[in-house]
Amino acid sequence: MNKQLPTKQKEKWDSQVLMAERIVIKLGINIVTCGECGHVLLHGTDDSDDIECPHCGFKSESCDFPDFFHERSLEDFKNL
């Protein structure tokens, strides 16, 4: 079931997403999650090397470390 978020909660979430985008644009640092353990980590956008998770040691290409905010909604985190 895809329940609609209350307006104020959605505005706060959208604000978080915009701040994350500003970090990426201004600092060249992306907020990603490990494709193996789900740990959140920072990754330089100009770094073409494989990413290694400092939590579990998983090392792979950036495609295995999805953006933390990209294509997610607040609903994705409600059941964690």
Q: Return the pLDDT at 61.
A: 93
Note the Cα 38 to chain centre separation in Å: 10
17-18-22 Cα angle (round to 5): 120
Helix, strand, coil share of the chain (percent; to 5)? 35, 20, 45
Domain-wise residue ranges, the chain: 18-77
Q: Select the more confidently predicted residue: 69 or 21.
A: 21
Strand, coil or helix: what is 40?
A: strand
Rounded CA-CA distance 15/1 in Å is 24
Tokens of 47: 């770094």
Q: Return the pLDDT at 51.
A: 94
| pLDDT tens track for 1-51 | 345 668 888 888 888 888 888 888 899 999 999 999 999 999 998 888 899
Q: Return the pLDDT at 73.
A: 58
Q: Return the pLDDT at 2.
A: 45
